[in-house]
Amino acid sequence: MKIEQISIVVPCFNEELALPFFYAALEETRKNLKQADIEYIFIDDGSKDQTLNTLKKFAAQDTKRVHYLSFSRNFGKEAALIAGLQYATGDYIAVMDADLQDPPELLPEMLELLRTKEYDCIGTRRITRNGEPPIRSFFANCFYRLMNRISDTEFVDGARDYRLMTRRMVEAVLSLDEVNRFSKGIFSWVGFETYYLPYENKERVAGKTSWSFWGLFNYSLEAIINFSEFPLTFASFIGLFSFLAAIFFLLFIVVRALIFGDPTAGWPSLVTIMLAVGGLQLFCLGIVGKYLGKTYLETKRRPLYILKETDQTEKEKKQ
């Protein structure tokens, strides 16, 4: 029977402390894979610690299985994911984080489901958020509820980037060459049969997360703008409501003047209305500007990332 290849795509940003634990856990999991072997695709996303040197050590120990890509600077997780998918050569491709919050021990079950069932993707979803700050959990739940109301693309609550995909699904993902990317939405948008394995939340094995609250907030805005036109519709309704409110108050002022005469001019109320309307206009203009900015970035067609070095370039230098 043919030995199938699984490419493990691992974005890394300042994961020097977690990588040894991750690599050891994956190597242990590899022993439990039936008729399959692992290819590692590590992506160093402009780390400031010793992440790259750690990856070089792994590659020196196992030149056959371990490969790495190093960016010229930090381009973000989305760029790292797409780079890993582009360089992966396996029959199946998995996306995982290096902090062991994505349990490697699920891989054998995920592989078996892809082989025996009519699925193209086995994803994972957390059924608990133990160890996560309550405010982050609250806003995460709100985000998923909001996205499923305003977007045609399904967003599974608790879904992780951690998933195992067939080659044909990965090719579909790679066919989308947009610059502004939100992988969870893209994985869902391309379709294909997906099953989500539930699991209990796990905390980082080492190091600190690079995601701050505001970083996650901005990331959620990317999802809303990339997969929904609702903010533009919302801005239009605000403009219409403001116009109708202005007509109503104009009629009210005219009727009041005809019946009671012209009272003392209300400068405070006038200024308040002007500020309210001006604020609404700026708010709606900001929404339109956000979409326009995304369009501007797309038209530039800049590369998603720039490589500084890979394990292949290092091998060529030594030859």
Tell me how far apart the terminal alpha carbons of the chain are, to the nearest angstrom: 35
Same domain assignment for residues 254 and 152: no
Q: Would strands 92-95 and 159-166 be described as parallel, antiparallel, or unpaired?
A: antiparallel
Same domain assignment for residues 44 and 184: yes
Same domain assignment for residues 251 and 143: no
pLDDT digits (tens, 9 = 90+) for 152-194: 677 777 778 888 999 999 999 888 887 777 777 788 888 788 8
Q: What is the pLDDT along the chain (319 residues), one digit of tens a residue?
A: 677 888 999 999 888 888 998 998 888 888 888 888 889 999 998 888 888 999 999 988 888 889 999 999 888 888 899 999 999 988 899 999 888 888 888 888 888 888 888 888 898 888 776 666 667 666 667 766 776 676 667 777 777 888 899 999 999 988 888 777 777 778 888 878 888 888 876 766 665 665 555 666 666 666 666 666 677 667 777 766 766 676 676 677 667 667 766 555 565 566 567 766 776 776 777 777 777 776 766 777 778 888 888 887 765 565 5
Same domain assignment for residues 119 and 242: no
**What whole-number distance in Å separates Cα of residue 68 and Cα of residue 56?**
8
Same domain assignment for residues 158 and 261: no
The token pair that represents 256 in the structure block: 């009041």
The position carrying tokens 């039936």 is: 34
Same domain assignment for residues 189 and 236: no
The pLDDT value recorded for residue 225 is: 66
Same domain assignment for residues 129 and 254: no
Same domain assignment for residues 293 and 173: no
The token pair that represents 14 in the structure block: 């300042």
Same domain assignment for residues 87 and 100: yes
What does the buried/exposed string (b/e) look like for 173-194 if buried means 16 or more CB atoms within 10 Å of the residue's CB? beeeeeeebbbbbbbbbbeeeb
Same domain assignment for residues 79 and 188: yes
Same domain assignment for residues 64 and 157: yes
Q: Name the residue range of residue 278's domain.
A: 230-300
Any residues with CB less than 8 A from the CB of 276 and at least 6 apart, and which? none
The pLDDT value recorded for residue 205 is: 62
Same domain assignment for residues 159 and 37: yes
For residue 161, give the 3-state DSSP assignment.
Answer: strand
Number of structural domains found in the chain:
2
Give the domain CATH number at 8. 3.90.550.10
The pLDDT value recorded for residue 269 is: 61
